[in-house]
Structure 1
Amino acid sequence: MSSILESINSTVTPAASYIGTYAKLSDAHADTLNIVERVWASYFVWWGNDLIACGIFIFLLHEILYFGRCVPWMILDQIPYFHKWKIQGEAKVPSVAEQWECMKSVLISHFMVEAIPIWGFYPVCKYAGISIDVPFPSWMKICAHLALFFVLEDTWHYWLHRGLHYGPFYKHIHKQHHRYAAPFGLTAEYAHPVEVALLGVGTVGIPIAWVMLTGDLHLFTVSVWIALRLFQAIDAHSGYEFPVSLHHFLPIWAGADHHDDHHRYFTGNYASSFRWWDFVLDTEAGPAAKAERQQRLAAKAAKKAKKQQ
């Protein structure tokens, strides 16, 4: 355990239940720790084993948030009123059978592929220097780290994703993810195990690399980052475009309309969270982007022909 948690552990004897441990810890540290920090510290004190505590926490965090965010989209798919906002139209609303088949595959991946690195995450955290101590960093620092991770992961995702569309990589790895040309929330992690691992490096590997370079990162920040990244991935695969969708207010944000075109046209729009890589490198997908490229090429050709006259 970290220094303050060690101190708390030596003064607060874990109760038989988590609630009892939280009550005892709150009595002793209500003045120095806020409620979230007390919930966090009580959890690690109650388990008394950081390896088990961290493994269970990360695994449950991932499962609860993933399926908890997918369920609302599944419900919307069953309510005809919302189908007018389905990007590819009502005809592309997935059936219950399709969703169930996808869910089974995702669950197998979660328990047979992703569970292994999740349970090995704490030793890596400890080696890299990720803190589990209390109190937490300031919200300013947490937000700065989150913004950095979003930008770095988006870069990693763009180049790796674009590479996975190259011939044999697409055929043997990435093609599985493109089974659904009209994506829905559950398809966010419907992918080949190799792809899951490679893209997972952007989510988990970047924070680990950051803390090894700086020595400054908290597991709570990593947990918030994982939650936000999951929500972003699921929402991008939702297949819905609403007037209140985030990219209407933050134009650089990719959103479902951006990623939906990637699945519909099978190429372009490789980035995860932002639009700038696809814009700068001219890999935007869809008829509008294609028409704009053709206009630019035509204008360039006309300009070249005029110079040669």
Structure 2
Amino acid sequence: MASAMLNSTIAGLNTALIGLNTTTNYQTVFEELSKSNVHLNYAERLWASWYIWMGNDVLATGVMSFIMHEIVYFGRSIPWMIIDALPYFNKYKLQNQKVPTWKEQWQCAALVLLSHCTVELPQIWLFHPIATYFNMDYGVPFPPAWKIAMHITVFFICEDAWHYWFHRALHYGPLYRNIHKLHHTYSAPFGLAAEYASPIEAMLLGFGIVGIPIVWVSVTGELHLLTMYIWIILRLFQAIDAHSGYDFPWSLRHILPFWAGADHHDLHHERFIGNYASSFRWWDYCLDTEAGADASKKRREKKLAEIRSKKAQ
């Protein structure tokens, strides 16, 4: 219904724009649409105007998706680069003896950007036709906030499970050497290194982020592109922050004990094993794959208790 509403809005607005010259800009489209669509809020009018102005839905979604990804990824990474350059924050760094150099960070940024343009860009262009084939909505009005929150919660839980099992599999000998080793170039990770990975790993683990919502909408018939964007932005924030190498007193994991956080993933990079999940701690806890001295101590104590129990029998 929402998509049909957008299509009718486009048709009506295009008719209204017939008398304008071919250099009609985005601002003009927005103003024309706003006159006859007062029931839409400001963000919805901006969204619809973009698709109308572009005149090609695949191109509109592709350009918006790529720009959004680059702004969020590098925009969120830059603050961590600044923090790394300020000695004051060193007390919060988990491996404070390993501060990345500017050269390391720029080299990492260059490879990540190359990956975005060669590996991820083609997938971004294919996203719109695939998503709409499975009936993902991209029209206006937007879904209610409660539905957006519900979908994102489901995606976080499902993606965490996907990430845990496939990430754990990537630590199997041949898979690690040929696919995952590149991501472990930095034993003390930093924000920009979140997507520093081989193309195969980027596609495999990336399916959890993009593929799970596609499966969801194909089964339920309910998902809006805006929800998809908010989900991807939040997941990018999570991934970059988890690679930041910093654990502050106000970090989310101190508020939500089951949230993984930077300390969880930093140990994974330092020890090269354990702590395979992305967002939550429950998979590693339940399957005894936690990394770190405390987890190792608990495992030793558990084994000793089992040995004593057998001897006592």
**Candidates 270, 286, 293, aligned match of 2:299:** 293
Task: Give the drift of 1:8.
Answer: 0.9
Matching residue of 2:116: 110
In the alignment, is residue 82 of structure 1 matched against residue 110 of structure 2? no
Matching residue of 1:44: 51
In the alignment, is residue 237 of structure 1 matched against residue 238 of structure 2? no
- Is 1:182–1:239's contact at 8 Å kept on the other side of the alignment? yes
In the alignment, is residue 135 of structure 1 matched against residue 106 of structure 2? no
> In structure 2, the residue corresponding to 1:133 is in which secondary structure?
coil
Query: One-letter code of the match for 2:54?
Result: W
Higher mean C-alpha deviation, range 278-287 or range 33-42? 33-42
Percent identity reads 55
RMSD between aligned residues: 1.0
Task: Give the drift of 1:109.
Answer: 0.4
Distance 1:82 1:251 in 2: 23
1:124-273 maps to which residues of 2 (within 5 A)?
124-273=130-279
> In structure 1, the residue corresponding to 2:266 is in which secondary structure?
helix
> In structure 2, the residue corresponding to 1:12 is in which secondary structure?
helix
Higher mean C-alpha deviation, range 170-179 or range 1-10? 1-10
Distance 2:214 2:270 in 1: 34
- Is 1:155–1:277's contact at 8 Å kept on the other side of the alignment? yes
Unpaired runs of 5+ residues, structure 1, are none
Distance 1:205 1:236 in 2: 22
**Candidates 27, 43, 68, aligned match of 1:19:** 27
Query: One-letter code of the match for 1:80?
Result: P
Unpaired runs of 5+ residues, structure 2, are none
Distance 1:10 1:231 in 2: 37
Matching residue of 1:8: 9
Task: Give the drift of 1:2.
Answer: 2.3
Task: Give the drift of 1:87.
Answer: 0.5
Task: Give the drift of 1:303.
Answer: 1.1
> In structure 2, the residue corresponding to 1:217 is in which secondary structure?
coil
Matching residue of 2:72: 65
Matching residue of 1:277: 283
Matching residue of 1:56: 63
- Is 1:5–1:133's contact at 8 Å kept on the other side of the alignment? yes
Distance 1:221 1:279 in 2: 30
Distance 1:9 1:142 in 2: 25
Distance 1:125 1:266 in 2: 36
Distance 2:34 2:294 in 1: 58
Distance 1:249 1:20 in 2: 46
Task: Give the drift of 1:28.
Answer: 1.5
> In structure 2, the residue corresponding to 1:54 is in which secondary structure?
helix
Query: One-letter code of the match for 2:57?
Result: D
Distance 1:288 1:37 in 2: 50
Matching residue of 1:28: 36
- State TM-score, norm by structure 2: 0.96
Runs of 4+ in 1 over 6 A off after TM superposition: none
- Is 1:5–1:45's contact at 8 Å kept on the other side of the alignment? no
Q: What is the count of residue pairs matched by the alignment?
A: 305
